[in-house]
Structure 1
Amino acid sequence: MIVILLVIAALGVAAALVINLHPVFGGNPSREQKERYLTLGHYVKGKFVNQVPTKMDISVSEYVSMLKETLSGAEGRKPAGPLLVSKVDWSRINKGEDSLTWFGHSAFLLTLDQKKLLIDPMLGPVASPVSFVGSKRYSKDLLPIIDEMPRIDAVLITHDHYDHLDYPSIRKLKDKVGHFFVPCGVGTHLIRWGVAEEAITELHWWEEVQFQGLTIALTPSQHFSGRGPANRDTTLWGGWVILGSSTRFYTSGDGGYGAHFQEIGEKYGPFDIALIEGGQYDRRWSWVHMTPEEAVQAHADVRGNTMMLIHWGAFTLAYHGWAEPIERAITEAAKANVRLIAPQIGETVALHGELTAAANAPWWKSPV
């Protein structure tokens, strides 16, 4: 028994060393940062909290049910084969018109007022700190796309989960990015990965900054954060409002449905286009991820004109069919008279003039 306990202790120490020493796990906010966060109403006892008290625990019975569903290997949770990615039209992107290019899940390149903005550029092969565990991308690795990109004016991160903040992507991107905008605390990860501190701006909820003629604001979401077992909720999460001269843009980040969407709509709406997360949902974590139907309602709440569903199309992180989110969103959008677009991964959509008809072919039904 003593030997077993010693082995367990040694494994625990080894795991702690790996988490503390390997850069993929990021950094931790400093004492000075924590003291500064105390002035915020959503920072309590060293942790960020949601606007509404949110259940974050999964019961033993729910864990058992998840294990059963994992082992059963339900059909349709992944495409039948690797997804084809549309060839990115860089010449069109470089023309400078307001446009959007989706890279799957929640990663996309936004051009507003000729500024190139990357949001949640998770382009790596697996949503995990290690390559041999975790959900693998449906398509080929998208990291080489970074070499083709023009200089990026800014990268915006919604929160620090592995399917949104990707170590390999940031390491490859950092020298061609002018600035990084992140929620409170997330900058510590970037600094550990070689991003200069002066190139990072951290924001809290409802804080606005001006950037090269654009207005950028971090808005609340109902979610959580953390890259390791010891740093849960030590960094903030949220969505982004970006206002240009002719396009008002919003992306929700991850999070459950709540009254904050109406607040965002009242303060910053209407939006020409809103990207709303509506994938990776489950009854066992309904408080931190929306169903497609809730996503359509959130779009209405923020006063969006055109909607695009995100947080699907790249990884299997939940137990529903991989294309179920977009199918359900299309059905609900039709009922609610909401204009919804669904571009193919890699496709560029102009944000003015095309949105009524573009990007609606059901590419996810085509054979791979």
Structure 2
Amino acid sequence: MKKWQKILIALLGIVLLFLTAGILFLQLHPTFGGSPTNEQKELYRQFDNYVDGDFVNMNEAELDMDMDFSTIFSLLRDAISGVDDQHPLEAIPIATFDWETIKNEEDSLTWFGHSNFLLSIDNKKILLDPMFGNIASPVSFIGSTRFSDDILDVMEELPPIDAVFITHDHYDHLDYPSILALKDKVEHFFVPHGIDAHLLRWGVASERITPMNWWDELEWKGLTIASVPAHHYSGRGLFDRNSRLWSGWVILGEETRVFTSGDSGYAPHFKKIGEVYGPFDLTLIEGGQYDERWSDNHMFPEESVQAHLDVNGETMMLMHWGAFSLAYHGWSEPVERALLEAEAQDVNIIAPEIGETVLLEELPVPVSSWWEY
């Protein structure tokens, strides 16, 4: 055998080894979660939003995420070069947590950055998309790191949590380390269909998980809870895209009506949600990590304000910014654009600091422009 043939065989062997290791990592590491069972898939086949083995968005067979060569090239270019102000120059400040207010019976909202909130409503403590980890990635050495200092220890100070609501299974919303740290403090998890497979693999008991489809509604501890459509997609690995559902959530208490959009492109479902469940005292609307190249599944801030109007909201807060850089725009650009559009549309908007607690009876509260620190 010639020397070049031996080298080629050795190189092929190395490639095969890395491929095998990668596949085993995807299959065996728990951070990738679990897969829906055949019994679950049989249930999904009865849903209008499940087509040919995948969940789909409203009124379409498949989310268009195909990219041509020029788009892929532009993404690679931006990934290498970045953009101005994509990350803050230093760690952004975190407000001093007011644990006394957080733990009392008043309706309140505390933001932990991105789409992670602690909502207190009717003295029920609710976490939305609890992502307390430092990196939005399945591995520690690749991915966007948090803008602020470490907030993992915040979970130790949280009061007992009545419920966790998950919107979808992307790493910046469903964080494996956070769920492990929280699961013994949480009474119940409400999730889109298929997300329960992740939680079950991570040790959450099935009786503490309620999977829901769009427009499913139930009463729980005096609250009305409904899963509502979002225009997005799901997946944590290379081969599981859209095998699990994504959603927004409606949470209605005695005095306060809240809507959270989850990740979503702007689409007609917002008006339908407003017709069925509006008005809302507070809306938490996705409006960061946007780009023309994926405008189907993330809103520009101006669209976020329109979505708030569509669902018939009184006061809105922009979310999906302030913690991670997942798109090629300035890190504080989303809230600055949203504030301008809110003023133009005469919309009440709040923008609390990370860690700040807002009493919902006092909405709207003044905007401090804290990101200009």
Same fold (TM over 0.5): yes
Indicate conservation of the 8 Å contact 2:281/2:315, yes or no. yes
**Which among 156, 159, 164 is matched to residue 155 of structure 1?**
164
Stretches of structure 1 lacking an aligned partner (at least 5 in a row): none
Residue type matched to 2:26 in 1?
Answer: I
The separation in 1 between residues aligned to 2:47 and 2:25, in whole angstroms, is 32
Matches within 5 A, 1:213-252: 213-252=222-261
2:45 aligned residue: 38
Stretches of structure 2 lacking an aligned partner (at least 5 in a row): 1-7
**Which among 5, 25, 29 is matched to residue 18 of structure 1?**
25
The separation in 2 between residues aligned to 1:104 and 1:59, in whole angstroms, is 33
What's the CA shift for 1:2? Answer: 4.0
1:306 aligned residue: 315
Indicate conservation of the 8 Å contact 2:190/2:211, yes or no. yes
1:167 aligns with 2:176: yes
**Which among 177, 193, 205 is matched to residue 184 of structure 1?**
193
**SS class of match (2:16):** helix
1:318 aligned residue: 327
**Which among 353, 365, 368 is matched to residue 372 of structure 2?**
365
2:34 aligned residue: 27
The separation in 2 between residues aligned to 1:58 and 1:171, in whole angstroms, is 36
The separation in 1 between residues aligned to 2:145 and 2:353, in whole angstroms, is 19
**SS class of match (1:263):** helix
The structure having more radius of gyration, on CA atoms, is 2
1:87 aligned residue: 96
1:212 aligns with 2:221: yes
The separation in 2 between residues aligned to 1:251 and 1:147, in whole angstroms, is 25
**Which among 185, 189, 193 is matched to residue 202 of structure 2?**
193
2:148 aligned residue: 139
The separation in 2 between residues aligned to 1:190 and 1:81, in whole angstroms, is 35
Can you list the C-alpha shifts for 1:153-185, whole angstroms capped at 9, x where unaligned?
000000000000000100000001000000000
Can you list the C-alpha shifts for 1:230-253, whole angstroms capped at 9, x where unaligned?
111110001000000010100000
The separation in 2 between residues aligned to 1:202 and 1:59, in whole angstroms, is 36
RMSD over aligned Cα, in angstroms? 0.9
How many pairs were matched up? 364
Can you list the C-alpha shifts for 1:291-325, whole angstroms capped at 9, x where unaligned?
00000000000000001000000000000000000
**SS class of match (1:254):** coil
Indicate conservation of the 8 Å contact 2:261/2:285, yes or no. yes
Residue type matched to 1:286 in 2?
Answer: S
Could you state the TM-score of these two structures normalised by the residue count of structure 1?
0.97
1:291 aligned residue: 300
What's the CA shift for 1:10? Answer: 2.5
Can you list the C-alpha shifts for 1:261-285, whole angstroms capped at 9, x where unaligned?
0000000000000000000000100
Residue type matched to 1:351 in 2?
Answer: L
2:111 aligned residue: 102
**SS class of match (2:109):** strand
